[in-house]
Chain A
Amino acid sequence: MAQNDPILKIDSLSVSYGHVKALSDISLEVGKGEIVVLVGANGAGKTSIMETVLGANVPVGGDIEFKGIHIGGVPVDKNVRNGMFLVPEGRGVFASMTVMDNLLLGAHHNLKNSDKKLQLVFDSFPVLGERKLQVAGTLSGGERQMLAIARALMSSPDMIMVDEPSIGLAPIIVNDIFEILVNLNKEGYSILLSEQNVYKALKIAHRGYVLETGRIIKSGTAEELLNDEAVREAYLGA
Protein backbone atom coordinates (compact mmCIF):
# COMPACT_ATOMS: atom_id res chain seq x y z
CA MET A 1 0.00 0.00 0.00
CA ALA A 2 1.94 2.96 1.28
CA GLN A 3 5.50 3.64 0.30
CA ASN A 4 8.09 1.57 2.02
CA ASP A 5 8.69 4.16 4.73
CA PRO A 6 5.59 5.77 6.34
CA ILE A 7 5.97 9.03 8.25
CA LEU A 8 2.77 8.35 10.20
CA LYS A 9 1.51 4.94 11.13
CA ILE A 10 -1.68 4.41 13.14
CA ASP A 11 -2.51 0.96 14.38
CA SER A 12 -5.97 -0.06 15.69
CA LEU A 13 -6.50 3.29 17.39
CA SER A 14 -9.60 3.92 19.48
CA VAL A 15 -10.70 7.18 21.11
CA SER A 16 -13.56 8.08 23.44
CA TYR A 17 -14.98 11.32 24.76
CA GLY A 18 -16.23 10.34 28.17
CA HIS A 19 -18.56 7.45 27.43
CA VAL A 20 -18.99 8.38 23.78
CA LYS A 21 -16.86 6.24 21.52
CA ALA A 22 -15.60 8.41 18.67
CA LEU A 23 -13.10 6.11 16.91
CA SER A 24 -12.70 2.37 16.91
CA ASP A 25 -9.96 0.26 15.43
CA ILE A 26 -8.51 2.86 13.09
CA SER A 27 -5.41 1.79 11.19
CA LEU A 28 -3.86 3.99 8.56
CA GLU A 29 -0.59 5.22 7.14
CA VAL A 30 0.77 8.35 5.56
CA GLY A 31 3.86 7.74 3.45
CA LYS A 32 6.69 10.24 3.18
CA GLY A 33 5.78 12.77 0.51
CA GLU A 34 2.21 11.57 0.19
CA ILE A 35 -1.10 13.38 0.30
CA VAL A 36 -3.56 11.13 2.09
CA VAL A 37 -7.16 12.15 2.40
CA LEU A 38 -9.74 11.17 5.02
CA VAL A 39 -13.25 11.43 3.69
CA GLY A 40 -16.47 11.06 5.58
CA ALA A 41 -19.60 12.88 6.65
CA ASN A 42 -19.91 15.19 9.63
CA GLY A 43 -19.17 13.33 12.82
CA ALA A 44 -17.40 10.46 11.08
CA GLY A 45 -14.26 11.04 13.14
CA LYS A 46 -11.88 12.96 10.87
CA THR A 47 -11.12 15.69 13.39
CA SER A 48 -10.79 13.15 16.15
CA ILE A 49 -8.08 11.27 14.24
CA MET A 50 -6.08 14.41 13.59
CA GLU A 51 -6.38 15.79 17.11
CA THR A 52 -5.39 12.45 18.57
CA VAL A 53 -2.34 12.22 16.34
CA LEU A 54 -1.45 15.77 17.38
CA GLY A 55 -1.73 14.81 21.04
CA ALA A 56 -4.75 16.91 21.97
CA ASN A 57 -6.72 13.73 22.78
CA VAL A 58 -5.41 10.78 24.68
CA PRO A 59 -6.22 7.51 22.90
CA VAL A 60 -7.97 4.69 24.74
CA GLY A 61 -6.13 2.02 22.79
CA GLY A 62 -3.93 1.42 19.81
CA ASP A 63 -0.65 2.81 18.69
CA ILE A 64 0.58 5.89 16.84
CA GLU A 65 4.03 6.09 15.31
CA PHE A 66 5.44 9.31 13.89
CA LYS A 67 8.78 9.13 12.09
CA GLY A 68 9.31 5.75 13.67
CA ILE A 69 8.72 6.92 17.26
CA HIS A 70 5.71 5.93 19.39
CA ILE A 71 3.77 9.08 20.28
CA GLY A 72 0.60 7.84 21.98
CA GLY A 73 -0.08 10.27 24.86
CA VAL A 74 2.70 12.70 23.93
CA PRO A 75 1.52 16.31 24.45
CA VAL A 76 0.88 18.68 21.56
CA ASP A 77 3.86 20.95 22.10
CA LYS A 78 6.26 18.01 21.90
CA ASN A 79 4.66 16.67 18.74
CA VAL A 80 4.85 20.12 17.17
CA ARG A 81 8.54 20.21 18.04
CA ASN A 82 8.95 16.80 16.44
CA GLY A 83 7.61 18.08 13.15
CA MET A 84 3.85 17.88 12.81
CA PHE A 85 1.34 20.69 12.72
CA LEU A 86 -2.42 20.90 12.44
CA VAL A 87 -4.34 23.39 10.36
CA PRO A 88 -7.54 23.13 12.39
CA GLU A 89 -11.10 22.91 11.21
CA GLY A 90 -12.42 26.46 10.92
CA ARG A 91 -8.80 27.70 10.48
CA GLY A 92 -8.23 28.46 14.18
CA VAL A 93 -6.51 31.77 13.53
CA PHE A 94 -6.51 34.29 16.36
CA ALA A 95 -8.80 37.02 15.11
CA SER A 96 -7.71 39.70 17.59
CA MET A 97 -4.01 39.22 16.86
CA THR A 98 -2.04 40.50 13.89
CA VAL A 99 -1.11 38.32 10.93
CA MET A 100 2.49 38.55 12.09
CA ASP A 101 1.61 37.36 15.60
CA ASN A 102 -0.38 34.48 14.18
CA LEU A 103 2.56 33.41 12.05
CA LEU A 104 5.00 33.67 14.93
CA LEU A 105 2.70 31.49 17.04
CA GLY A 106 3.41 28.75 14.54
CA ALA A 107 7.08 29.10 15.38
CA HIS A 108 6.40 29.42 19.10
CA HIS A 109 8.57 26.44 19.99
CA ASN A 110 11.51 27.63 17.95
CA LEU A 111 11.86 31.30 17.13
CA LYS A 112 15.39 30.85 15.76
CA ASN A 113 15.50 31.75 12.06
CA SER A 114 11.94 33.00 12.30
CA ASP A 115 12.87 36.05 10.19
CA LYS A 116 14.02 33.80 7.40
CA LYS A 117 10.93 31.64 7.68
CA LEU A 118 8.73 34.72 7.64
CA GLN A 119 10.44 35.89 4.47
CA LEU A 120 9.81 32.54 2.80
CA VAL A 121 6.17 32.61 3.83
CA PHE A 122 5.70 36.17 2.61
CA ASP A 123 7.32 35.21 -0.69
CA SER A 124 4.84 32.38 -1.18
CA PHE A 125 1.86 34.34 0.15
CA PRO A 126 2.35 38.00 -0.79
CA VAL A 127 -1.16 38.83 0.52
CA LEU A 128 -0.03 37.99 4.02
CA GLY A 129 3.08 40.12 3.65
CA GLU A 130 0.97 43.10 2.66
CA ARG A 131 -1.26 42.65 5.68
CA LYS A 132 1.21 41.51 8.26
CA LEU A 133 0.29 44.26 10.73
CA GLN A 134 -3.46 43.90 10.25
CA VAL A 135 -5.40 41.83 12.77
CA ALA A 136 -6.44 38.45 11.40
CA GLY A 137 -10.10 39.23 12.03
CA THR A 138 -10.05 41.57 9.05
CA LEU A 139 -8.98 38.86 6.58
CA SER A 140 -11.33 37.10 4.19
CA GLY A 141 -12.09 33.40 4.62
CA GLY A 142 -9.62 32.36 1.95
CA GLU A 143 -6.90 34.59 3.37
CA ARG A 144 -7.48 33.14 6.81
CA GLN A 145 -7.08 29.66 5.43
CA MET A 146 -3.83 30.76 3.81
CA LEU A 147 -2.71 32.26 7.09
CA ALA A 148 -3.48 29.03 8.89
CA ILE A 149 -1.44 27.06 6.36
CA ALA A 150 1.39 29.60 6.45
CA ARG A 151 1.39 29.38 10.23
CA ALA A 152 1.85 25.64 9.92
CA LEU A 153 4.86 26.21 7.66
CA MET A 154 6.40 28.51 10.27
CA SER A 155 6.80 25.49 12.52
CA SER A 156 9.04 23.76 9.94
CA PRO A 157 6.93 20.61 9.92
CA ASP A 158 7.51 17.36 8.10
CA MET A 159 3.83 16.51 8.09
CA ILE A 160 0.91 18.92 7.91
CA MET A 161 -2.59 17.85 8.83
CA VAL A 162 -5.25 19.99 7.17
CA ASP A 163 -8.76 19.60 8.59
CA GLU A 164 -11.56 20.44 6.14
CA PRO A 165 -9.92 23.45 4.52
CA SER A 166 -12.73 23.97 2.01
CA ILE A 167 -15.44 24.58 4.60
CA GLY A 168 -17.19 27.89 4.01
CA LEU A 169 -15.06 28.89 1.02
CA ALA A 170 -16.19 29.74 -2.52
CA PRO A 171 -15.30 27.04 -5.08
CA ILE A 172 -12.68 29.19 -6.82
CA ILE A 173 -10.93 29.84 -3.53
CA VAL A 174 -11.07 26.14 -2.71
CA ASN A 175 -9.20 25.47 -5.93
CA ASP A 176 -6.52 27.97 -4.88
CA ILE A 177 -6.15 26.34 -1.49
CA PHE A 178 -5.89 22.86 -2.99
CA GLU A 179 -3.29 24.15 -5.40
CA ILE A 180 -1.29 25.47 -2.49
CA LEU A 181 -1.47 22.04 -0.87
CA VAL A 182 -0.31 20.32 -4.05
CA ASN A 183 2.63 22.70 -4.32
CA LEU A 184 3.58 22.15 -0.71
CA ASN A 185 3.45 18.44 -1.31
CA LYS A 186 5.79 18.84 -4.26
CA GLU A 187 8.19 20.70 -1.98
CA GLY A 188 8.31 17.59 0.14
CA TYR A 189 5.71 18.06 2.88
CA SER A 190 3.65 15.00 3.72
CA ILE A 191 -0.01 15.93 4.06
CA LEU A 192 -2.93 14.33 5.85
CA LEU A 193 -6.06 16.03 4.60
CA SER A 194 -9.67 15.66 5.65
CA GLU A 195 -12.49 16.68 3.39
CA GLN A 196 -16.19 16.43 2.72
CA ASN A 197 -15.52 17.82 -0.74
CA VAL A 198 -14.66 14.28 -1.75
CA TYR A 199 -14.21 14.66 -5.47
CA LYS A 200 -11.76 17.56 -5.35
CA ALA A 201 -9.84 16.01 -2.51
CA LEU A 202 -9.38 12.67 -4.24
CA LYS A 203 -8.26 14.51 -7.36
CA ILE A 204 -5.19 15.87 -5.54
CA ALA A 205 -4.54 12.99 -3.14
CA HIS A 206 -2.45 9.88 -3.63
CA ARG A 207 -4.52 7.69 -1.41
CA GLY A 208 -7.63 7.92 0.74
CA TYR A 209 -9.58 6.37 3.57
CA VAL A 210 -13.36 6.45 3.88
CA LEU A 211 -14.69 6.90 7.40
CA GLU A 212 -18.12 6.18 8.73
CA THR A 213 -19.13 6.59 12.39
CA GLY A 214 -15.62 6.20 13.69
CA ARG A 215 -14.52 3.29 11.51
CA ILE A 216 -12.60 2.98 8.29
CA ILE A 217 -14.92 1.27 5.83
CA LYS A 218 -12.80 1.55 2.73
CA SER A 219 -9.30 2.50 1.67
CA GLY A 220 -7.26 2.59 -1.50
CA THR A 221 -5.53 4.79 -4.01
CA ALA A 222 -7.33 7.94 -4.97
CA GLU A 223 -8.08 6.49 -8.36
CA GLU A 224 -9.58 3.31 -6.95
CA LEU A 225 -11.83 5.31 -4.62
CA LEU A 226 -12.92 7.66 -7.37
CA ASN A 227 -14.01 4.68 -9.42
CA ASP A 228 -15.58 2.75 -6.54
CA GLU A 229 -19.34 2.26 -6.99
CA ALA A 230 -20.24 2.68 -3.34
CA VAL A 231 -18.07 5.74 -2.89
CA ARG A 232 -19.45 7.33 -6.01
CA GLU A 233 -22.97 6.73 -4.81
CA ALA A 234 -22.47 7.93 -1.25
CA TYR A 235 -20.14 10.88 -1.71
CA LEU A 236 -20.04 11.89 -5.33
CA GLY A 237 -23.76 11.88 -5.98
CA ALA A 238 -23.41 9.68 -9.03
Chain B
Amino acid sequence: MEILIAQIFNGLSIGSIYVLLVTGFNLLLLVAMIIHFSFPVVVVFSMYISWFVMTLTGSVALGVAGGIASAVVVNVITAPMFQHIMRERGSVDINATMVISMGMGMIITDILSHTFNQGFPIAFPDALTGNDQGALISVGLVSISRGQVLTLIVGIIFVAFLFWLLYKTRAGRAFRAIAEDPNGAKLVGIPLLKTGFQSYALTGILGGVTAVLMAVLLGSASAGLGDQLGHKVLAVSIIAGLGNLTGGLIIGLLLGILEAIIQGYLAGSWSNAIAFIVMLVVILAKPKGVFGSKL
Protein backbone atom coordinates (compact mmCIF):
# COMPACT_ATOMS: atom_id res chain seq x y z
CA MET B 1 0.00 0.00 0.00
CA GLU B 2 2.73 2.45 0.99
CA ILE B 3 4.65 1.54 -2.10
CA LEU B 4 1.62 2.25 -4.20
CA ILE B 5 1.26 5.67 -2.60
CA ALA B 6 4.91 6.41 -3.26
CA GLN B 7 4.49 5.28 -6.87
CA ILE B 8 1.48 7.50 -7.32
CA PHE B 9 3.38 10.45 -5.89
CA ASN B 10 6.25 9.67 -8.21
CA GLY B 11 3.76 9.41 -11.07
CA LEU B 12 2.26 12.78 -10.24
CA SER B 13 5.65 14.48 -10.40
CA ILE B 14 6.52 12.87 -13.75
CA GLY B 15 2.97 13.55 -14.86
CA SER B 16 3.28 17.24 -14.07
CA ILE B 17 6.26 17.34 -16.44
CA TYR B 18 4.08 15.79 -19.15
CA VAL B 19 1.33 18.27 -18.36
CA LEU B 20 3.70 21.22 -18.77
CA LEU B 21 5.04 19.86 -22.05
CA VAL B 22 1.59 19.06 -23.43
CA THR B 23 0.29 22.47 -22.40
CA GLY B 24 3.14 24.18 -24.24
CA PHE B 25 2.52 22.01 -27.28
CA ASN B 26 -1.21 22.75 -27.19
CA LEU B 27 -0.71 26.50 -26.76
CA LEU B 28 1.48 26.58 -29.85
CA LEU B 29 -1.10 24.52 -31.67
CA LEU B 30 -3.98 26.77 -30.69
CA VAL B 31 -2.43 30.21 -30.89
CA ALA B 32 0.49 29.92 -33.29
CA MET B 33 -1.34 27.22 -35.26
CA ILE B 34 1.64 24.91 -35.62
CA ILE B 35 2.19 21.27 -34.69
CA HIS B 36 5.46 21.74 -32.84
CA PHE B 37 6.26 18.06 -32.56
CA SER B 38 9.80 18.84 -31.45
CA PHE B 39 8.85 21.22 -28.66
CA PRO B 40 10.08 18.63 -26.10
CA VAL B 41 13.33 18.38 -28.05
CA VAL B 42 13.80 22.11 -27.51
CA VAL B 43 13.21 21.49 -23.81
CA VAL B 44 15.87 18.79 -23.72
CA PHE B 45 18.18 21.18 -25.55
CA SER B 46 17.62 23.64 -22.72
CA MET B 47 18.51 20.94 -20.21
CA TYR B 48 21.82 20.55 -22.02
CA ILE B 49 22.46 24.30 -22.06
CA SER B 50 21.63 24.45 -18.39
CA TRP B 51 24.04 21.60 -17.70
CA PHE B 52 26.69 23.27 -19.84
CA VAL B 53 26.43 26.59 -18.02
CA MET B 54 26.49 24.81 -14.66
CA THR B 55 29.62 22.86 -15.44
CA LEU B 56 31.27 25.90 -16.98
CA THR B 57 30.54 28.38 -14.20
CA GLY B 58 29.84 26.05 -11.30
CA SER B 59 26.79 28.11 -10.51
CA VAL B 60 23.40 26.45 -10.28
CA ALA B 61 21.57 29.77 -10.49
CA LEU B 62 23.31 30.71 -13.73
CA GLY B 63 22.58 27.25 -15.12
CA VAL B 64 18.90 27.62 -14.35
CA ALA B 65 18.81 31.07 -15.92
CA GLY B 66 20.72 29.84 -18.97
CA GLY B 67 18.36 26.92 -19.43
CA ILE B 68 15.26 29.07 -19.32
CA ALA B 69 16.79 31.74 -21.54
CA SER B 70 17.85 29.22 -24.16
CA ALA B 71 14.33 27.84 -24.56
CA VAL B 72 12.96 31.34 -25.03
CA VAL B 73 15.69 32.17 -27.53
CA VAL B 74 15.15 29.00 -29.57
CA ASN B 75 11.41 29.55 -29.67
CA VAL B 76 11.68 33.18 -30.58
CA ILE B 77 14.25 32.77 -33.33
CA THR B 78 12.38 29.89 -34.94
CA ALA B 79 9.06 31.74 -34.77
CA PRO B 80 9.58 33.75 -38.01
CA MET B 81 10.25 30.51 -39.90
CA PHE B 82 6.98 28.95 -38.74
CA GLN B 83 5.09 32.20 -39.22
CA HIS B 84 6.38 32.45 -42.77
CA ILE B 85 4.82 29.06 -43.53
CA MET B 86 1.56 30.03 -41.88
CA ARG B 87 1.39 33.27 -43.82
CA GLU B 88 2.13 31.54 -47.11
CA ARG B 89 -0.42 28.82 -46.76
CA GLY B 90 -3.04 30.03 -44.37
CA SER B 91 -4.17 27.69 -41.67
CA VAL B 92 -4.82 24.83 -44.06
CA ASP B 93 -1.60 22.90 -44.28
CA ILE B 94 -0.61 22.40 -40.69
CA ASN B 95 1.23 19.22 -41.75
CA ALA B 96 4.02 21.32 -43.18
CA THR B 97 4.67 22.89 -39.79
CA MET B 98 4.93 19.43 -38.28
CA VAL B 99 7.48 18.35 -40.87
CA ILE B 100 9.52 21.51 -40.27
CA SER B 101 9.37 20.90 -36.55
CA MET B 102 10.62 17.36 -37.14
CA GLY B 103 13.48 18.78 -39.16
CA MET B 104 14.31 21.02 -36.23
CA GLY B 105 14.22 18.01 -33.93
CA MET B 106 16.62 16.12 -36.22
CA ILE B 107 19.08 19.00 -36.10
CA ILE B 108 18.93 19.58 -32.36
CA THR B 109 19.09 15.91 -31.40
CA ASP B 110 22.02 15.30 -33.70
CA ILE B 111 23.90 18.30 -32.35
CA LEU B 112 23.27 17.14 -28.78
CA SER B 113 24.53 13.65 -29.55
CA HIS B 114 27.70 15.00 -31.18
CA THR B 115 28.89 17.87 -29.07
CA PHE B 116 27.99 18.12 -25.39
CA ASN B 117 29.89 15.72 -23.17
CA GLN B 118 31.14 13.94 -26.31
CA GLY B 119 27.68 12.57 -26.87
CA PHE B 120 27.47 10.75 -23.54
CA PRO B 121 24.47 11.29 -21.29
CA ILE B 122 24.86 14.24 -18.97
CA ALA B 123 24.42 14.18 -15.19
CA PHE B 124 23.35 17.22 -13.21
CA PRO B 125 25.26 18.24 -10.07
CA ASP B 126 23.88 17.34 -6.64
CA ALA B 127 23.72 21.05 -5.87
CA LEU B 128 20.78 21.17 -8.27
CA THR B 129 19.12 17.83 -7.70
CA GLY B 130 19.65 17.66 -3.93
CA ASN B 131 20.29 13.94 -4.25
CA ASP B 132 23.21 14.10 -1.82
CA GLN B 133 20.87 15.16 0.95
CA GLY B 134 18.88 11.97 0.75
CA ALA B 135 15.13 11.62 0.64
CA LEU B 136 12.88 14.35 1.94
CA ILE B 137 10.39 11.97 3.46
CA SER B 138 11.30 8.39 4.20
CA VAL B 139 9.01 5.91 5.88
CA GLY B 140 10.08 2.30 5.69
CA LEU B 141 10.51 1.40 2.05
CA VAL B 142 8.83 4.54 0.87
CA SER B 143 10.86 7.60 0.08
CA ILE B 144 9.98 10.81 -1.62
CA SER B 145 12.76 12.98 -2.96
CA ARG B 146 13.17 16.74 -2.88
CA GLY B 147 13.08 16.77 -6.66
CA GLN B 148 9.69 15.08 -6.75
CA VAL B 149 8.18 17.53 -4.30
CA LEU B 150 9.68 20.52 -6.06
CA THR B 151 8.52 19.35 -9.47
CA LEU B 152 5.02 18.78 -8.28
CA ILE B 153 4.76 22.14 -6.51
CA VAL B 154 6.30 24.21 -9.30
CA GLY B 155 4.29 22.24 -11.85
CA ILE B 156 1.02 23.04 -10.09
CA ILE B 157 1.96 26.69 -9.66
CA PHE B 158 2.96 27.06 -13.29
CA VAL B 159 -0.14 25.38 -14.65
CA ALA B 160 -2.27 27.57 -12.38
CA PHE B 161 -0.36 30.59 -13.68
CA LEU B 162 -1.04 29.54 -17.28
CA PHE B 163 -4.74 29.12 -16.67
CA TRP B 164 -4.84 32.50 -14.91
CA LEU B 165 -3.06 34.04 -17.86
CA LEU B 166 -5.43 32.45 -20.35
CA TYR B 167 -8.64 33.28 -18.56
CA LYS B 168 -7.90 36.52 -16.73
CA THR B 169 -5.61 38.60 -18.90
CA ARG B 170 -5.87 40.57 -22.10
CA ALA B 171 -3.27 38.43 -23.88
CA GLY B 172 -4.99 35.24 -22.74
CA ARG B 173 -8.29 36.48 -24.11
CA ALA B 174 -6.66 37.09 -27.46
CA PHE B 175 -5.06 33.61 -27.33
CA ARG B 176 -8.43 32.00 -26.74
CA ALA B 177 -10.10 34.03 -29.46
CA ILE B 178 -7.48 32.93 -31.99
CA ALA B 179 -7.76 29.35 -30.79
CA GLU B 180 -11.49 29.35 -31.40
CA ASP B 181 -11.62 31.24 -34.68
CA PRO B 182 -8.49 32.79 -36.19
CA ASN B 183 -10.38 34.62 -38.89
CA GLY B 184 -12.94 36.01 -36.47
CA ALA B 185 -10.12 37.13 -34.20
CA LYS B 186 -8.49 38.95 -37.08
CA LEU B 187 -11.73 40.77 -37.89
CA VAL B 188 -12.05 42.18 -34.37
CA GLY B 189 -8.57 43.60 -34.68
CA ILE B 190 -6.37 41.05 -32.94
CA PRO B 191 -3.01 41.00 -34.75
CA LEU B 192 -2.51 37.30 -35.49
CA LEU B 193 1.22 37.33 -36.05
CA LYS B 194 2.04 39.50 -33.07
CA THR B 195 -0.16 37.48 -30.74
CA GLY B 196 1.21 34.27 -32.19
CA PHE B 197 4.68 35.57 -31.46
CA GLN B 198 3.74 36.14 -27.83
CA SER B 199 2.74 32.51 -27.62
CA TYR B 200 6.20 31.47 -28.81
CA ALA B 201 7.77 33.56 -26.07
CA LEU B 202 5.38 32.24 -23.43
CA THR B 203 5.91 28.61 -24.38
CA GLY B 204 9.64 29.34 -24.39
CA ILE B 205 9.47 30.33 -20.72
CA LEU B 206 7.27 27.32 -20.05
CA GLY B 207 9.75 25.04 -21.82
CA GLY B 208 12.71 26.51 -19.94
CA VAL B 209 11.09 26.00 -16.56
CA THR B 210 10.15 22.47 -17.55
CA ALA B 211 13.75 21.81 -18.55
CA VAL B 212 14.99 22.85 -15.13
CA LEU B 213 12.35 20.74 -13.40
CA MET B 214 13.31 17.74 -15.50
CA ALA B 215 16.94 18.25 -14.59
CA VAL B 216 16.03 18.28 -10.91
CA LEU B 217 13.69 15.31 -11.16
CA LEU B 218 15.62 13.03 -13.51
CA GLY B 219 19.13 14.16 -12.58
CA SER B 220 20.39 13.25 -16.05
CA ALA B 221 19.57 13.53 -19.74
CA SER B 222 20.54 12.00 -23.05
CA ALA B 223 20.15 13.18 -26.61
CA GLY B 224 17.44 10.63 -27.37
CA LEU B 225 15.25 11.87 -24.52
CA GLY B 226 13.75 14.63 -26.65
CA ASP B 227 12.43 12.29 -29.34
CA GLN B 228 10.89 9.99 -26.78
CA LEU B 229 9.21 12.88 -24.98
CA GLY B 230 8.07 14.25 -28.33
CA HIS B 231 6.24 11.01 -29.07
CA LYS B 232 4.70 10.89 -25.63
CA VAL B 233 3.56 14.49 -25.76
CA LEU B 234 1.99 14.08 -29.19
CA ALA B 235 0.35 10.86 -28.02
CA VAL B 236 -1.01 12.48 -24.86
CA SER B 237 -2.25 15.44 -26.84
CA ILE B 238 -4.01 13.21 -29.37
CA ILE B 239 -5.54 11.00 -26.70
CA ALA B 240 -6.81 14.04 -24.82
CA GLY B 241 -8.00 15.64 -28.06
CA LEU B 242 -5.65 17.97 -29.91
CA GLY B 243 -5.62 21.42 -28.35
CA ASN B 244 -7.75 20.38 -25.38
CA LEU B 245 -5.90 21.94 -22.44
CA THR B 246 -7.94 20.40 -19.63
CA GLY B 247 -7.87 17.03 -21.36
CA GLY B 248 -4.08 17.30 -21.67
CA LEU B 249 -3.84 17.99 -17.96
CA ILE B 250 -5.80 14.88 -17.07
CA ILE B 251 -4.17 12.51 -19.56
CA GLY B 252 -0.68 13.85 -18.77
CA LEU B 253 -1.09 13.08 -15.08
CA LEU B 254 -2.65 9.70 -15.84
CA LEU B 255 0.27 8.76 -18.06
CA GLY B 256 2.72 9.69 -15.33
CA ILE B 257 0.88 7.58 -12.78
CA LEU B 258 0.50 4.67 -15.19
CA GLU B 259 4.21 4.67 -15.94
CA ALA B 260 5.17 4.91 -12.28
CA ILE B 261 2.94 2.00 -11.34
CA ILE B 262 4.24 -0.15 -14.18
CA GLN B 263 7.78 0.74 -13.17
CA GLY B 264 7.02 -0.58 -9.71
CA TYR B 265 6.55 -4.03 -11.16
CA LEU B 266 8.60 -4.18 -14.35
CA ALA B 267 12.13 -3.27 -15.20
CA GLY B 268 13.61 -0.85 -17.68
CA SER B 269 12.55 -0.60 -21.25
CA TRP B 270 9.56 -2.91 -20.90
CA SER B 271 7.74 -0.47 -18.64
CA ASN B 272 8.10 2.24 -21.24
CA ALA B 273 6.91 -0.16 -23.90
CA ILE B 274 3.79 -1.01 -21.93
CA ALA B 275 2.93 2.65 -21.54
CA PHE B 276 3.30 2.98 -25.31
CA ILE B 277 1.12 -0.06 -25.92
CA VAL B 278 -1.61 1.38 -23.72
CA MET B 279 -1.40 4.68 -25.61
CA LEU B 280 -1.40 2.87 -28.94
CA VAL B 281 -4.54 0.94 -28.05
CA VAL B 282 -6.33 4.11 -27.00
CA ILE B 283 -5.30 5.93 -30.19
CA LEU B 284 -6.29 3.03 -32.42
CA ALA B 285 -9.66 2.88 -30.69
CA LYS B 286 -10.20 6.65 -30.58
CA PRO B 287 -8.01 8.42 -33.14
CA LYS B 288 -9.85 11.70 -32.51
CA GLY B 289 -9.25 11.77 -28.79
CA VAL B 290 -11.17 11.01 -25.62
CA PHE B 291 -12.25 14.54 -24.69
CA GLY B 292 -12.71 15.91 -28.19
CA SER B 293 -10.40 18.07 -30.23
CA LYS B 294 -10.45 21.87 -30.07
CA LEU B 295 -9.50 22.25 -33.71
Contact flag (A, B; Cβ within 8 A): yes
Q: A-side interface residues toward B, CB under 8 Å? A: 51, 54, 56, 75-77, 79-81, 85-86, 88, 92-97, 101, 104-106, 108-109, 111, 151, 155
B87-127 to A contact mask, C-beta < 8 Å, 1/0: 00000000000000000000000000000000000000000
Contact yes or no, B176 A101, CB < 8 A: yes
Q: Given the known A-B contacts A88-B184, A92-B184, are A79 and B177 also in contact in the complex, defined by CB atoms under 8 Å?
A: no
Known: A94-B177, A108-B189. 5 other contacts (CB 8 A): A85-B188, A93-B184, A104-B173, A111-B170, A151-B188
Chain B residues near A (Cβ < 8 Å): 170, 173-174, 176-177, 180-181, 184-191
Pairwise interchain contact B189-A81, C-beta atoms closer than 8 A: yes
**Given A76-B186, A92-B181, A94-B184, residue A101 in contact with residue B191 (CB < 8 A):** no
Listed residue (A54, A79, A101, A108) with the most chain B CB atoms within 10 angstroms of its CB: A108
Determine whether the beta carbon of B188 is less than 8 Å from that of A108.
Answer: yes
Q: Evaluate whether A155 and B189 lie within 8 angstroms (CB atoms) in the complex, with A97-B177, A97-B180, A101-B176 already known.
A: yes
Q: How far is the CB of B169 from chain A (nearest CB, A)?
A: 10
Complex contact A105–B177 (CB within 8 A): yes
How far is the CB of B289 from the nearest CB of chain A, in Å?
17
Known contacts A92-B181, A94-B180, A96-B180; A109 and B187 CB within 8 A of each other: no
Q: A108-B170, A111-B170 are contacts. A94–B176 as well, Cβ < 8 Å?
A: yes
Residues on B with C-beta less than 8 A from A86 are: 187-188
Contacts of B187 in A (CB 8 A): 51, 54, 56, 76, 86, 88, 92
With a cutoff of 8 Å between Cβ atoms, the chain A residues found around residue B177 in the complex are 94, 97, 105
Which residues of chain B are within 8 angstroms of A77 by Cβ–Cβ distance? Answer: 189-191
Please judge, given known A-B contacts A95-B180, A96-B180, A97-B180, whether A106 and B173 are in contact too, CB under 8 Å.
Answer: no
Whether the Cβ atoms of B190 and A108 lie closer than 8 Å is yes
Main SS at interface, chain B? helix
- 22 CB < 8 A contacts A-B: A51-B187, A76-B186, A76-B187, A76-B189, A80-B189, A88-B187, A92-B181, A94-B176, A94-B180, A96-B180, A97-B173, A97-B180, A104-B173, A105-B173, A105-B185, A105-B188, A105-B190, A106-B188, A108-B174, A108-B190, A109-B189, A155-B189
Considering the complex, give the chain A residue whose CB is closest to the CB of B188. A105
What residues of chain A lie closer than 8 Å to B170, measured between beta carbons?
Answer: 104, 108, 111
- With both chains docked as a complex, state the minimum distance between the C-beta of B172 and any C-beta of chain A, in angstroms: 10
CA distance A79 to B189 in the complex (A): 8
Please give me the residue from chain A that is nearest to B179 by CB atom.
Answer: A96
With A104-B173, A108-B170: A94-B181 Cβ-Cβ less than 8 Å: yes
The 3 closest A-B pairs by CB, nearest first: A80-B189, A92-B184, A77-B189
Q: Chain B residues near A93: list those with CB within 8 A.
A: 184
A96 touches B189 (CB 8 A): no
B174's closest neighbor in chain A, by CB? A108
A101 to B174 CA separation, bound complex (whole angstroms): 9
Among B170, B173, B181, the one with the most A-chain Cβ atoms within 10 Å of its Cβ is B173
* Alpha-carbon separation in the docked complex, A111 to B173 (Å): 12
- Residue among B177, B180, B181, B188 with the most chain A CB within 10 A? B188
- Which residues of chain B are near A75, meaning CB under 8 Å? 191
User: A94 vs B180: C-alpha distance in the bound complex, in angstroms?
Assistant: 7
- B residues in contact with A109, CB < 8 Å: 189
Cα–Cα distance between A105 and B174 once the two chains are bound (Å): 7
Query: Which residue on A lies nearest to B178, using beta carbons?
Result: A94
Q: Which residues on the B side are within 8 Å of A104 (C-beta)?
A: 170, 173
How far is it, in angstroms, between the C-alpha of A80 and the C-alpha of B170 when the chains are bound? Answer: 17
B190 proximity list for chain A (CB < 8 A): 77, 105, 108
Query: Chain B nearest CB: distance from A22 CB in Å?
Result: 16
Q: Is the CB of B186 within 8 A of A97?
A: no
B190, closest chain A residue (CB): A108
- Residues in A with CB closer than 8 Å to B185 are 105
Given contacts A94-B181, A96-B180, A97-B180, contact A80 B188 (CB under 8 A): yes
Find the residue from B176, B184, B189, B190 having the highest chain A CB count within 10 A: B189
B contact residues around A92 at 8 Å (CB) = 181, 184, 187-188
Report the minimum CB–CB distance from A147 to chain B (whole Å). 12
Q: Which residues of A contact B174 (CB under 8 A)?
A: 105, 108
Residues of B within 8 A of A101 (CB): 173, 176
